Amino acid sequence: MPPRFRFLWPAALAALLPACSGPKTAYVEPGSSRLVTTLDQVNIQDFAQAADTMVASLIDHLINPGQLKTGVAGEPALLAISRIQNNTGQQLDTDLLVKKIRVALLRTGKVWTSTTIAFGGPEDPLAAEEQQVLRSSAAGTNRRPDYTLSGKIIEDRARAGNIRQTAHVFQLSLTKTPEGIAVWEDEKTIVKQGTRPAVGF
């Protein structure tokens, strides 16, 4: 090998190394495939996947067939958020699921969500106060929700050898008020198997 090429391969190797090793910390798009995936937790991509499935199901089975009824002609149906029970071993903010569904339903133009009537108290206390003032005046009545959204997040774990499996089950029901009839229900199960946490899926 001519002496002038002696350092060619080491230089090429040195050039390749930075390309293969990623940065220590980097921003990742929340909808990408490069998010951290863990067995023991409900990851943000799991919430997004469950919410996406639920919204598609609501559109397919309730909105598109024209089954979604509104109490006020010319206005979208009004939804109130009821209890979303967390039956997993971890502490979860269920808004990671519910807010995504609310945003997507609002964009359909067929559903509004009440921020003053909700399980556990109003989401917006100031708006609820204003509503109280309106109710006590002679001006009129407040709109009541046409539907309530309730649900449960369940966890199931299994193990075979060093392979561990975790299933998170997302169950949602849409109840027509005041009749109390579930007019839509669905379930999404996300199952993960592995031996250790990973980046990407």
Nearer to other proteins, 131 or 192 (CB): 192
Contacts of 193 (CB under 8 A, 6+ apart): 39, 163, 164, 165
**Nearest distance from residue 65's CB to other proteins, in Å?**
8
Pairing label, strands 198-199, 181-194: unpaired
User: Whose structure tokens read 């199960």?
Assistant: 189
Shortest distance, position 13 Cβ to other proteins, whole Å: 6
Least separation in angstroms between CB 130 and other proteins: 28
Cα 94 from Cα 107, distance rounded (Å): 20
CB 155 within 8 A of CB 88: yes
CB of 31 to other proteins, least distance (A): 5
Q: Residue 11: is it exposed, middle or buried by C-beta count within 10 angstroms (0-12/13-18/19+)?
A: exposed
Of the pair 182, 190, the CB lying nearest other proteins is at 190
By CB under 8 A, name the binding residues for other proteins.
Answer: 1, 6, 8-10, 12-13, 16-17, 19-20, 30-34, 37, 45, 48-49, 51-52, 55-56, 59-60, 63-66, 99-101, 103-104, 107-110, 198-201
Nearer to other proteins, 74 or 140 (CB): 74
Preceding amide of 178 cis, omega within 30: yes
Kindly tell me which of 34 and 144 has the beta carbon lying closer to other proteins.
34
Give least dist CB 64 to other proteins, A.
4
